[in-house]
Amino acid sequence: MKKYDSDSGVYGAKAERKHRGANMVFIGIIVGLAVMLAAVTAAFVARDLGKRNAEMRLNDYYFEAVSELSDSVDEVVLNLSKLSLNMSRATTSETLNELSMYAAEGACALSRLPIDGEKTYPAMKLLNQIVDFAASYNSAVGRGFDTESYVKSASDFRRAAETLQQRVDEMEEISRRNGKIVSHSFSPSNMTVGDDKQEVTPDYPEMIYDGPFSDGKLPVSFKSLENLEEVDEQEAIYRFEQILNVKGAKVIGRSSEPDAYEIEAGDMYGSVSVKGGMFLSLSIADKTGNRVNLDEEDAYTHAAEYAAKLGYGDLTPVWYLQSGSVAYINMTPTVGDAVLYTDIVKVKISLTDGTLLGLEATGYCRNHIDRDITAAISERTAAELSGIEYDSVRLCVIPDKETEAVCYEVHGTFDEMEFYVYVDAVTGERVKALKVVNSYGGRLTA
């Protein structure tokens, strides 16, 4: 009986251990599955959290840009208002320095926003003009010139800046209400400065800001396009996609002077002429980061390659400006050694990886024709007629009111100031003198 009971006990103990073992295996499987599920869940959560964190950081970056833009525009309006007061020359100069600084900061902040170039262009142009105006006004103050015309222009700029101030306030309100900033949050009216009743580009004496003769327009006609064949919408889209290596391009409008297709492809916006299918302008969102990996020569190389690819041939860089990780390069065709300032192509390049970020080529399309460039006086004579202590001379063509002039560009100094003086290569007359503004890093590449 004992044996039986003993055997029964052993059997019962084995069965119990087996049962417990099975339970342990089952529990182990459950625990294992739970661990795997937790790991997978954690991976997804981490990925989503990382994505959300990245989006939050990007959105914070955009909100910071909007805030900086708002503050800068407020200061621009304030300083333009001060200029209507009867202040001393020293106080006026100080106000102009602040005006220039805040307008430049506003343009920088605006460029950081994820908004189509079509919508920001009027505001960007206004801010750049204000920088240029402030530099020119300051020069007139420093040299004791009559500044009455500048005071009037300051009032015109103030009214335009007040319109921009309203647009920025609207933009900031929309952003806060939506909780994020994306391009489609804004209609063109939110970023357009001025209207049919308001002129936002008052005249002011010329200075070098974004390169000599960068706004030289000459005639209304577009000589370079006149004899080219017209392209239809399909051809314009095809060229846009092929040259820029994008898909899904579509025509979203049509503009005049010159007649052109406005084309959009994702975050890329451009204007392509009906005659010839030439790229008049191009704006591409900068997604390359803010690291500077390329030097000036690299930027020239990339800019020249893009200009040639876009149909503008072999161009020479004549002006260079670096702003953060972006390079702005003005390029022109040449005839022999003569630089054609009338035919400027502006190229914007990322210094992170050389990506094309923008193009403006209306000057080229307006003025580029075959020219016979001859000079009646020598470089030495032109240099002596310039009236400055010169260090370099080169032949060029510049816009001159409603026409153009073949000149010698004489670079040098006068009274410790840097100048470029343009001496007519036929008559020896001093056609124009430009004072170099170095505050923002732009300079001629001669």
Evaluate if pTM is beyond 0.85: no
- Calculate mean pLDDT across residues 257-276: 90
Average pLDDT estimate for 8-24: 44
- Give tens-digit pLDDT for 68-116: 898 999 999 888 888 877 677 888 888 898 998 999 888 888 887 777 6
Q: What pLDDT is stored for residue 131 in this prediction? A: 84
Q: Is the pLDDT of residue 193 over 50?
A: no
What is the mean predicted confidence (pLDDT) over 34-49?
49
Looking at residue 223, its pLDDT comes to 81
User: Looking at the predicted structure, is the pLDDT value of residue 124 above 80?
Assistant: yes
Structure tokens at 3: 């044996």
Most confident of the following: 221-235, 279-293, 381-395: 381-395
The confidence band for 415, taking pLDDT boundaries of 50, 70 and 90, is: confident
Rg (CA), the chain: 32
pLDDT band at 233 (very low <50, low <70, confident <90, very high): very high
**Is the pLDDT confidence value at 316 over 50?**
yes
Give the pLDDT band of residue 67 (cuts 50, 70, 90): confident
Domain ranges of the chain: 1-205, 223-317+325-332+342-362
* 394 Cβ neighbours under 8 A, 6+ residues apart: 337, 338, 339, 408, 409, 446
DSSP 8-state symbol, 85: S
The residue ranking higher by pLDDT, 125 or 336, is: 336
The overall average pLDDT reported for the chain is: 78
Flag whether pLDDT at 43 surpasses 60.
no
pLDDT score at 202: 45
Q: For 11-21, what is the mean pLDDT?
A: 44
Q: Residues 336-384: pLDDT tens digits?
A: 989 999 899 999 999 999 999 999 898 899 888 888 899 999 999 999 9
Indicate the Cα dihedral angle 284, 288, 294, 297, nearest 10°. -10
Residue 334's DSSP bridge partners are: 339
Split at pLDDT 50, 70, 90, the class of 410 is very high
With beta carbons less than 8 A apart as the criterion, state whether 346 and 364 touch.
Answer: no
Neighbour order of strands in the sheet with 356-360 = 250-255, 260-265, 268-273, 279-284, 356-360, 345-350, 326-332, 316-323, 443-444
Confidence band, pLDDT 50/70/90 cuts, at residue 407: very high
User: For position 182, what pLDDT does the model report?
Assistant: 56
- CA 364 to CA 160: how far, in whole Å? 29
Percent of the chain at pLDDT > 70 equals 74
Q: What percent of the chain has pLDDT over 90?
A: 30
Q: State the average pLDDT over residues 10-22.
A: 44
- Nearest by Cα to 418 from 239, 222, 208: 208
Q: Is 325 left (phi over 0), alpha (psi -120 to 50) or beta?
A: alpha
